[in-house]
Structure 1
Amino acid sequence: MHLDKLIQLVKSRRESLQVTQEMLADLSGVGLRTLKQFESGKGNPTLSTLQKLADALGMEVALKVKELKTDL
């Protein structure tokens, strides 16, 4: 999934729950500045940050690793 899509999913979920950025920062333990940067597309969140946001919003983070075939 592209980061833009992930940002939109988190922001949409937050807004549908009528949670402000300030409230989400408090609920998740993620700094308000970090959250604002993420939602504006200027941040590069760690998996830990994404997990905290997802937990607070009742979402699930799944990591998909795909093996690439290479001819050596």
Structure 2
Amino acid sequence: MEDLAAIAATIRKARKEAGITQADLADLAGTSERTVRAIETATGNPSLGAVVAVANAVGLHMAAV
């Protein structure tokens, strides 16, 4: 669970540093604002693809394996 919290915090920090909202990030990543919120709070069950898309959209390059 610590890993999820760390990923969530890193994505949230990168989004805030980029000066974009969760809605903006959702548009950039091709997902919903609800999914972005779930990723940033490490809640729900977002798909790995959604996490990778959101991370990549804020410049954190990840690849789904």
- TM-score, normalized by length of structure 1? 0.75
Q: Cα deviation per residue 1:27-72 (whole Å; 9 max; x = unaligned)?
A: 11111111112222212222211121122111111568xxxxxxxx
User: Aligned AA for 2:12?
Assistant: K
- TM-score, normalized by length of structure 2? 0.82
Normalized per residue, the structure richer in helix is 2
Work out which of the two has the higher radius of gyration on C-alpha atoms and give 1 or 2: 1
Stretches of structure 2 that go unaligned for 5 or more consecutive residues are none
Stretches of structure 1 that go unaligned for 5 or more consecutive residues are 65-72
Cα RMSD over matched residues? 1.9
Corresponding residue number in structure 1 for 2:42: 41
Percentage identity across paired residues of the two chains: 31
- Aligned-partner Cα distance in 2 for 1:33–1:3: 17
> Which runs of structure 1 show a deviation greater than 4 angstroms over 4 or more consecutive aligned residues?
none
